Amino acid sequence: MNIVNILEEIEKVDGEIYERLNPRRAAMKDFFNLGKKVALSAAPLALGSMFTKAYGQTAPSAVIDVLNYALTLEYLEYHFYNHSLLAAPGLIPAGAATTAITTIRDHEKAHVDLLKGAITANGGTPVSFTYDQFDFTAKNTFPTVYTNYDTFLAVAQAFEDTGVRAYKGQATALKGMAVLTTALQIHSVEARHAAHIRSMRAARGATIKPWISLGPGDVANDTGIAAVNDVYAGENLDAQAGITITGIATGVTKAAAVESFDEPLTKPAVLAIASLFIK
For residues 247 and 142, what is the distance between their CA atoms, to the nearest angstrom?
Answer: 40
Mean pLDDT of 25-40: 47
Q: For residues 170 and 4, is the Cβ–Cβ distance under 8 A? A: yes
Can you tell me the distance from the alpha carbon of 138 to that of 231, in angstroms, rounded to the nearest whole number?
14
3-class SS at 278?
strand
Residue 92, class by beta-carbon neighbours within 10 Å (0-12 exposed, 13-18 middle, 19+ buried)? buried
Domain boundaries, the chain: 3-211, 213-261
Q: Please count the residues of the chain.
A: 279
pLDDT band at 16 (very low <50, low <70, confident <90, very high): low
pLDDT over 70 at 18, yes or no:
no
Q: What secondary structure does DSSP assign to 49-96, as a single string? A: HHHHHHHSSS--HHHHHHHHHHHHHHHHHHHHHHHHHHSSTTSSPTTH
pTM of the model: 0.74
Q: Which fold has domain 3-211?
A: Ferritin (1.20.1260)
CA-to-CA distance for 108 and 102, rounded, in angstroms? 10
Q: Output Rg (C-alpha) for the chain, integer angstroms.
A: 19
Sign of CA dihedral 8, 30, 25, 23: positive
Instruction: Please state, in angstroms and rounded to a whole number, the distance separating the CA atoms of residues 10 and 17.
Output: 7
Residue-level pLDDT at 272: 87
What average pLDDT does the segment 70-89 reach? 90
Q: CB-side exposure of 252: number of CA atoms within 13 Å?
A: 14
Res. 119 pLDDT band, cuts 50 70 90 = confident
Contact 129, 72 (CB under 8 A): yes
